[in-house]
Amino acid sequence: MWSGPSPRGGCICSSEGRSPVAEGGPRVPTRLLAAIALSAALAPLNSTMVAVALPEMSRTLGADSGVLRQALVSSYLLTNVVLQSPGGKLGDRLGYRRALALGQILFALGAALASVWPVLPGLTAARIAMAAGGAILAPSAFALLRTELPPEVRGRAFGALGAMMGLSAGLGPKVGALLVTHFGWTSIFLANVPVLVLSAALVHLGAPAPAPSKEMAAAARPRFDVLGSVLLGASLLGVVVGLENEAYRWAAAVGVLGFVPFAWWERRAADPIIDFSLFRRRTFVAGSLLIAIQNFAMYSILFELPQVAGRLFGAGPREVGNTLVAMMAMMIVASPFAGRASERFGARAVALVGCAVAVAGVALLGLLPWDSTTGAVPALGLLGLGLGLTGAPSQASSISDVPRDKSGMAAGLTSTMRYIGGIAGLTVLGLVLTEEPAAEVARREHGTSLLIFGVALVVTIGCAALLPGRIAAAEGAAAGGR
């Protein structure tokens, strides 16, 4: 049974196996989508907004900027990586609206704490609380879209959500600069609270109580898998710390080895954090890999281009940043279009086109004889278009390929893959790039980097080919247990 708010605030319901159809066909409940988008956008916004406040915070707190970056940025990202899967599983157990509310409360408490306790220990604790809230918010938001929207409009909703998250990440530095200039750096934390209050009001007040699924209404489940969460968190933490810090490469090896006892325990746990049967689902695996690899390429280029452009022709951060807007802008524009297109032409077709366009963008970036950052704009725009076209159909397909009562777990896993992909890209970039100022060396390293990114994106074409023609097909396969 699907239940969700209609455009008039009522409830549109359908019987098992049929899509809800209002007058003129299925529609996206805009209030629910707006609420989810507001909440989900806070995590990427806060990961980039704080960057511009670090110099002012360093002067006020008397702390080294490197220490602040580790305490406030790295801890935020690490907490997000470690808690995505447990956060998604929590939604499966509590219900996605309740989990979303819990994430909103944690995020708001952390933001309020950061604004009234402006000392480094308090700020670090507050940022970890915000990250923990975000790790529950994101999987719950995606799971809500899956469980409360029919397949016919799900691509459109995922596209709109992807555009909102991309926009928030891109606007983070500008919003942060505006707040710091006019209201002081504590305002970048306090500003989150009214947004969360509005989101909570939209998603919870007056919303019809969704009918529990057969799985959710089953007998009481065993206790939350605490040991599995600890083992998974420790393993991911080791891998991420090892990849990000050359001095701690051993931690990555320890983290990888840590997955062995985790897998052993999960196969015996009564209610595991990760159900390994999900990895036998072709669409889920293909969609998750596609998301991870594209994040690998995107984050790599975001960090590679400033370094190489500076060494080749002395381009400054502002000049490079303005050039990178071409990629981000095309991603934001393409995301909602991709959602609608996947409903009309199928997820596989749109994702294949997107992957091919992204490969073409990287190839053009390597072939263009650019001698200024503006010369890279066409290639970056093409790359952004490809990435934007691929996001919505891959995310919607992967989460639709799992049983409804495991939507949170699946969303948590794909979110974890997204973070790991970005971190892996930065790690590879660190191995390729050097500090050698010679232009010839910079060009060679640039070519090597683009070759790696291009090969990785070629792999995504194979992943896209495994996506379903229609999102409803993945939904049907999940319902049939295939």
- Extract the tokens encoding 373: 């950052």
The Cα 401–Cα 407 span in angstroms is: 9
Query: In 3D, which of 211, 142, 150 has the Cα closest to residue 26?
Result: 150
- Residues 239, 369: one domain? no
**DSSP secondary structure letter of residue 481:** T
Whether this prediction's pTM lies above 0.75 is answered by yes
Whether the CB-CB separation of 238 and 257 falls below 8 Å is answered with: no
- Residues 331, 294: one domain? yes
The Cα 180–Cα 51 span in angstroms is: 11
Whether the CB-CB separation of 4 and 12 falls below 8 Å is answered with: yes
Residue 22, domain member (yes or no): no
Residue ranges making up the domain that contains 313: 275-482
Q: Is 14 helix (H, G, I), strand (E, B) or coil?
A: strand
Whether the CB-CB separation of 154 and 29 falls below 8 Å is answered with: no
Q: What are phi and psi of 446, to 5 degrees?
A: -60, -45
Whether the CB-CB separation of 128 and 26 falls below 8 Å is answered with: no
DSSP-assigned states of every residue in 392-429: HHHHHHHHHTS-GGGHHHHHHHHHHHHHHHHHHHHHHH
Residue 19, domain member (yes or no): no
Residue 21, domain member (yes or no): no
- Residues 233, 329: one domain? no
- Residues 384, 414: one domain? yes
**CATH number for the domain including 173?**
1.20.1250.20
The number of residues in the chain equals: 482
The Cα 46–Cα 209 span in angstroms is: 31
Longest Cα–Cα distance of the chain, Å, equals: 67
- Extract the tokens encoding 23: 């007058």
Q: What are phi and psi of 4, to 5 degrees?
A: -165, 165
- Residues 115, 173: one domain? yes
**Which of 246, 272, 298 marks a domain boundary?**
272
pLDDT by 10s per residue, the chain, length 482: 333 333 333 333 333 333 333 344 456 577 778 888 888 788 778 877 887 788 888 888 887 777 787 788 778 878 888 888 899 888 888 888 889 889 999 999 999 999 888 888 999 999 999 999 989 988 888 888 888 887 777 777 888 887 888 788 777 777 888 888 889 889 999 999 998 888 888 877 645 545 444 444 444 455 678 888 888 888 888 887 887 777 788 888 898 899 999 999 988 888 888 888 888 898 999 999 999 998 888 878 877 887 787 777 777 766 777 788 888 889 888 888 888 888 888 889 999 999 999 999 999 988 877 677 778 889 999 999 999 999 888 888 888 888 888 888 888 888 888 888 887 887 788 788 887 777 788 888 888 988 998 999 999 999 999 988 776 555 655 555 54
- Residues 261, 386: one domain? no
Residue 386, domain member (yes or no): yes
